[in-house]
Amino acid sequence: MRKTLTTVGLAASALAAGVLLATPAAAASATTDFDVYFPGQKPESQYHVTNTAAVSGGRITAKSVVNWQILVDQVIDNSKRFTSFKITTRLESRPGKDSADVVETSKTCDLTKLVNDNYTWFLIEPVNTCTAPSMVYDGEVFWSSDSTVVYDIEGDGKGAITKEIGGSPLAHG
C-alpha cells in the first residue's frame, strides 16, 4: 500500500511539473452580446461573439465565433434581414501589458447568407467561425484577439452599423 501511494504521489508530481513546464496550450476568451431590432414584423435577435486567442503547438491563433437567437419565439416576417453581415477578426500583440495593441494578422468573414438563412445558430462550426492567420507564439509578448462586426439591416435606411467586440484576455508567458 505504501509503495502504491508513493508511486501515485511521484506520478502526480511528475504530471504537475510537466504541466507547468509544457509549452502553453491554453485559450483566453471573452464573449460580447448585442441585440438587433429590425423594422416591421421581423424577429428581434441577439448575437453573441466569442473572441479567443488560443496557443497550440507553438503558434497562436485568433478566432471569433458568432452565435445568435431570436428574442421572440414568433416569426411573422421571414424576409431577408441583412443586406450584409461581416466580422473582422484580429490577432493583436503588445510588448508590455499596458502598451497599445498592434494588429499582427486579420481576416474578414462574410456571414450574410448564414445569418439570413438561419434565425438561430448555436453550433460552433467553421461556417460561423472567423479565424485570423496564426503566428509563432512568443511568450514574452502579450497577445489577444478582438473583432469588429459590421452589418446593414435590410430596409431600415440607416446604412452600415459597426459594433466593436470586446477582446479576449491577454495571453502571455
Confidence of residue 140 (pLDDT cuts 50, 70, 90): very high
Question: For domain 24-165, is the CATH number 1.10.540?
Answer: no
Q: What is the mean pLDDT of the chain?
A: 86
Going from N- to C-terminal start, the domains of the chain cover 24-165
pTM (2 decimals)? 0.83
Each residue of 36-60: pLDDT tens digit?
A: 999 988 889 999 999 999 999 999 9
pLDDT at 79: 87
Three-state secondary structure of the chain: CHHHHHHHHHHHHHHHHHHHHCCCCCEEEEEEEEEECCCCCCCCEEEEEEEEEEEECCEEEEEEEEEEEECCCCCCCCCCCEEEEEEEEEEEEECCCCCCCEEEEEEEEECHHHHHHCCCECCCCHHHEEECCCEECCCCCEEEEEEEEEEEECCCCCCEEEEEECCCCCECC
d(Cα 55, Cα 139) in Å, to the nearest integer? 10
pLDDT at 25: 53
Residues shown for the chain:
173
Read off the pLDDT of each residue in 95-101 and give the average, rounded to a whole number.
Answer: 93
pLDDT reading at 1 higher than 90: no
